Amino acid sequence: MMNANLTKTSQKRIVIIGGGFGGFKLARELSKTDYQIVLIDKNNYHQFQPLLYQVATSGLEPSAISFPLRKIFQKTKNIHIRIAEVSQIIADKNQINTNIGVINYDYLVIAIGTDTNYFGNSKLMEKAMPMKSVAEALTLRNTILQNYENALTTEDIEARKGLMNIVVVGAGPTGVEVSGALAEMKKYVLPKEYPELDFKKMHVHLLEGAPRVLNTMSESASNKAKKYLKKLGVKISLNTQVKDYDGINVYLADGSMIRANTLLWAAGVIGNKIEGLKADSISKANRIKVDRYNKIEGYSNIFAVGDIALMEEEKFPKGHPQMAQVAIQQGNLLAKNLKNVLLNKPLKPFTYKDKGSMATVGRNKAVADLPYFKLSGFFAWIIWMFVHLMSIVGIKNRLFVFINWAWNYVTYDQSLRLIIKQKSKSKRSLEKHFLENTIGVFKNYKTLAEKTFSQLKNDEDFHYQPDTESNSIAVIIKHLSGNMISRWTNFLTTDGEKLTRNRDFEFVEDSQTKEQLMESWDKGWKVFLDTLNTLNENDLVKTITIRGEKLTVTQALNRQTAHYAYHIGQIVYLAKQIKNTEWQSLSIPKNKSEEYSKGFYQETIK
């Protein structure tokens, strides 16, 4: 089993989850204090999110807006970096579970930020492109550039149209800025790179559900931004909602359709989830409710800062805007308050100092709502560049960004149009293939059982026992669910046989209804499949324990494959006995092989 290898000292330990603006600022301000700081992030770098769109549109390289966390804190002995993912908070023990082991804390700060919100639309989640990380920005860049390569070689006019068009959903700052950047690429860069393509037929569509762009900024800023975008050729559709997307066509709520192979989703965010907090501490958008000291409601030593924190203030009764400045100010004040704890000084409540909002649309075009005045055009653009440049971590990074901006401005060109391809799937590792295949096998088991359940119409069928020594389908469901929850909760970091499990109870006949049994079934499979989907090739050789017995992850998966297959087989066998002649076969029916084969070959010939 893995271990975080953190030395226990006399210092109080503050664990910070997340190295974004809030967590990063907090860690920096607490460096060289009498706290032991553990900064946990799934990446080994801090990224400057406001400029991700420039990576996506080939204006900047990823390293220009990313800075290694260890480089930043290499001279501070009280700060420890751990690259890990947190799966659960165990508040009553002052512990968190991670994929590198259990970590204890005296104070915990949650700064995990937000993720793209698709508002429950699974098709959009699968087909649309988000832009919340450097990796996602690079994927978007690769997709856009590869689409133009493909457009050169297709003879289908409609297909070429889809490859060239780009739809951006959400006209907040991100949507406006990326739309402007794409429009400038269309005007200044792409015609030189792809002279065989007619870029008069390429369209950048900006869709917004609200009545205006930049809806959170002033009306004058909104009107100016809209004017700039239209001048650049962006097609703006307001009061417009996306209903569906299949990867080729964007279907709108009014029944119209846009042909586009690329859809960038910038229409909203939702807080990243973390298990273990009380349900009443979480708001509808997964933001965590905090008081004016950033302390989470119902806890004395757990805090939240930044986009994930929902703090009510007189000027902000629905919480602060999810912006970098809020996160930085909260991180800064929380650091001061934690220092005051050491000095037995009173804590200060948080009050957000609004420094204004800005958005750039393109060359010499920006809007700025500042505290005492509003600007647009060239001067707003200069201020926007200066503020963003000075906010980037590291002198070298600022210099690289400035050089790139200066070069782009003088030459009307962007020099970073590289398509960075991943390894071909045909060359994927044997380990990855094993993982994908194993997940597929388990899903097939689940489907087989659920097709069986659909044939059982009443509760009595689930409790049928051929004899007193045999288990009913209800008991098997209880056992499988109990096993899955025990084995696969914190799978890599805790023993598979949890102390909270009552295995004997799983084999006791009771009077649960079909609905209750299905709820238990779904709960077990959710824990199981959620865990499987977090595993990667490197995890397969890690060691876990089940009742103290050491197994590799590969061995544990193989063992569960046999175990679950055995019980699914029992379920099907019992159901066949119950239904008798009414049983509908789940595979090729008895004495129907020849008929099935003829049908298969006839369909193949067609």
pLDDT at residue 599, rounded to an integer: 54
595 is catalytic: no
Give the residue carrying structure tokens 């009913």.
472
pLDDT, tens only, 133-142: 999 999 999 9
Check residue 282 and report its DSSP letter: B
pLDDT, tens only, 242-287: 999 999 999 999 999 999 999 999 998 999 999 999 999 999 889 9
pLDDT at residue 428, rounded to an integer: 52
Does residue 439 contact residue 533 with C-beta atoms inside 8 Å? yes
CA atoms within 13 A on the CB side of 367: 25
Does residue 131 contact residue 143 with C-beta atoms inside 8 Å? no
pLDDT, tens only, 27-45: 999 998 999 999 999 999 9
> How many residues are there in the chain?
606
Q: Residue 208: count other Cβ atoms within 10 Å of its Cβ.
A: 25
pLDDT at residue 324, rounded to an integer: 95
pLDDT at residue 597, rounded to an integer: 59
- pLDDT at 606 > cutoff 60: no
pLDDT at residue 604, rounded to an integer: 42
pLDDT at residue 592, rounded to an integer: 64
pLDDT, tens only, 445-454: 999 999 999 9
Mean pLDDT along residues 215-228: 96
- CA terminus-to-terminus distance, the chain: 54
Q: Walk across the sheet containing 374-376 and list its strands.
A: 357-362, 365-369, 374-376
- pLDDT at 482 > cutoff 50: yes
3-state secondary structure of 17: strand
Cα→Cα distances 478→198, 261, 483, Å: 62, 45, 8
Of 32-41, 174-183, 325-334, 489-498, the one with minimum mean pLDDT is 489-498
pLDDT at residue 161, rounded to an integer: 95
Does residue 120 contact residue 242 with C-beta atoms inside 8 Å? no
CA atoms within 13 A on the CB side of 404: 24
- pLDDT at 601 > cutoff 50: no
Rounded Cα–Cα distance for residues 17 and 273 (Å): 12
- pLDDT at 393 > cutoff 70: yes
Mean pLDDT along residues 466-494: 94
pLDDT band of 432, cuts 50, 70, 90: confident
CA-nearest of 133, 103, 417, 429 to 276 is: 103
Rounded Cα–Cα distance for residues 487 and 501 (Å): 10
Q: Outline where DSSP puts E strands in 525-580.
A: 543-546, 549-552
pLDDT, tens only, 520-575: 999 999 999 999 988 988 888 888 999 989 899 999 999 999 999 999 999 999 99
pLDDT at residue 478, rounded to an integer: 96
**Alpha helices (runs of H) in 365-497, residue ranges in sequence order:** 378-391, 395-411, 430-453, 459-462, 473-488
pLDDT at residue 425, rounded to an integer: 47
Please spell the DSSP secondary structure of 114-159, one letter per residue.
Answer: EEE--TT-HHHHHHSB--SSHHHHHHHHHHHHHHHHHHHH---HHH
pLDDT at residue 238, rounded to an integer: 97
- pLDDT at 603 > cutoff 60: no
pLDDT, tens only, 291-328: 999 999 999 999 999 999 999 999 999 999 999 999 99
Sort residue 268 into left (φ over 0), alpha (ψ -120 to 50) or beta: left
- Identify the burial level of 215 via C-beta atoms within 10 angstroms of its C-beta, where 0-12 means exposed, 13-18 middle and 19 or more buried: middle
What's the 3-state SS for 210-272?
Answer: CCCCCCCCCHHHHHHHHHHHHHCCCEEECCCCEEEECCCEEEECCCCEEECCEEEECCCEEEC
pLDDT band of 591, cuts 50, 70, 90: low
- pLDDT at 423 > cutoff 70: no
Does residue 175 contact residue 208 with C-beta atoms inside 8 Å? yes
- Identify the burial level of 254 via C-beta atoms within 10 angstroms of its C-beta, where 0-12 means exposed, 13-18 middle and 19 or more buried: exposed
pLDDT at residue 605, rounded to an integer: 43
Out of 61, 177, 208, 509, pick the active-site residue: 177
